[in-house]
Amino acid sequence: MYDSQPDRKGFTATRSVEPEPRLYRRTAEGEYVLPWRDILQTLWRRAWLVALVTILCTGVALALSLMQTPVYEASAKILVGQGRQDQVQPGANPNIWAPDQLTQTMVEGIKSRPVADAIVQELGLQMTPEEFLGHLRVEQVPKSQFIQVTYTDTSPERAQQMANAVGEVFPKQVSQLNPSQTALFAMAWEQAGTPTAPVSPKPERNLAVGLIIGLILGTGLALLLEYLDDRWRSPEEAERISGAPTLGIIPEGEDSRGKRQGIAVG
């Protein structure tokens, strides 16, 4: 943009005027700042866009939640331990395991293929041991010798059945070990109940995430459109953005097609 001003001899000199970016203001030091008042005015003027994007994102999150198949979890607890040293038969290995070491060893034993294979065969399941282990989560209860076994499935009854099956089969396998070599034991301590609510999907959480994402995207889109909008809404805004004074205004009028047009001359 150029600004024409007469010199002392009456000749008109033309100099280049660098326009200010929309949404930015130039300070006295020549730096650009982003006034919060202009941001709020922009968001208020484009509130419909922010609301539309937010509604769309929230609706997508709700639709995805409704399309997902509910998944249930059932958990059982197994107590593991080792008999006292004086209970070990003569000639047996007298090694006594540390509680944490023993519990972690039992955790790995539950997650092993032999245990999964025994459960699949005992229940006559139409799945491989690997598929069974893919739905199984085994972890030690902190600072204890309890092991929590959790099974996930789309059926709450089947999830309960599988978790309790682990609590029944694993102690049997431990008891089959030669007692002259080890005094380990495992027992089903707490049976799994039938889950009443799915753990996935979580519509409330998904709606909250969709709402937050919608607000962020809507706000960003509104500010981007405002930044790219090169229309001048008033003579004052034209002067501020262009950096040149406004010499006159041609009022709006209708052209031959009935459209209203107007222009500010600077």
- In a domain? residue 242: yes
Q: Would you tell me how many other CB atoms lie within 10 Å of the CB of residue 217? A: 15
Structure tokens at 45: 């003027």
Are 83 and 162 found together in one domain?
A: yes
Instruction: For residue 75, count CB atoms less than 10 angstroms from its CB and return exposed for 0-12, middle for 13-18, buried for 19 or more.
Output: middle
Assess contact for 114 and 173: CB atoms under 8 A: yes
Residues 50 and 172: their CA atoms lie apart, in Å, by: 61
Phi/psi of residue 200, nearest 5 degrees:
-155, 140
Assess contact for 203 and 67: CB atoms under 8 A: no
Q: Would you tell me how many other CB atoms lie within 10 Å of the CB of residue 238? A: 20
Q: Which domain holds residue 47?
A: 2-65+202-265
Assess contact for 179 and 90: CB atoms under 8 A: no
Phi/psi of residue 106, nearest 5 degrees:
-65, -35
Are 96 and 165 found together in one domain?
A: yes
Quote the pLDDT of residue 15: 47
Are 50 and 18 found together in one domain?
A: yes
In one-letter notation, the amino acid at residue 123 is: L
Q: Where are the beta strands (DSSP E) in 51-114?
A: 72-82
- In a domain? residue 92: yes
- In a domain? residue 195: no
- In a domain? residue 54: yes
- In a domain? residue 220: yes
Are 153 and 240 found together in one domain?
A: no
Could you tell me how many helices (H) and strands (E) the chain has, helices first? 8, 10
Are 81 and 172 found together in one domain?
A: yes
Number of structural domains found in the chain: 2
Q: Which of 164, 190, 216 is the last residue of a domain?
A: 190
Are 176 and 76 found together in one domain?
A: yes
Quote the pLDDT of residue 17: 46
Q: Which of 140, 165, 190 is the last residue of a domain?
A: 190
Where residue 78 sits, what CATH number does that domain have?
A: 3.30.70.1130
Sheet holding 136-140, edge to edge: 136-140, 146-153, 72-82, 184-190
Residue 189: which H helix or E strand, with range?
strand 184-190
Quote the pLDDT of residue 173: 87
Are 151 and 208 found together in one domain?
A: no
pLDDT per residue, tens digit, the chain (266 aa), is: 444 455 455 444 444 444 455 555 555 555 655 677 777 888 888 899 999 999 999 999 888 888 888 999 999 999 998 865 444 444 444 455 677 888 898 999 999 999 999 999 998 988 999 999 999 999 999 988 999 999 999 999 999 999 999 999 999 888 887 555 557 888 999 999 999 989 888 888 889 999 999 999 999 898 888 777 766 566 665 666 566 666 666 666 555 555 555 544 45
Quote the pLDDT of residue 26: 58
Quote the pLDDT of residue 139: 95
Structure tokens at 111: 């997650």
Listing DSSP states for 112-126 in one string gives: SHHHHHHHHHHHT-S
Q: Would you tell me how many other CB atoms lie within 10 Å of the CB of residue 116? A: 23
Residues 194 and 73: their CA atoms lie apart, in Å, by: 9
CA proximity to 221, closest of 211, 231, 229:
229
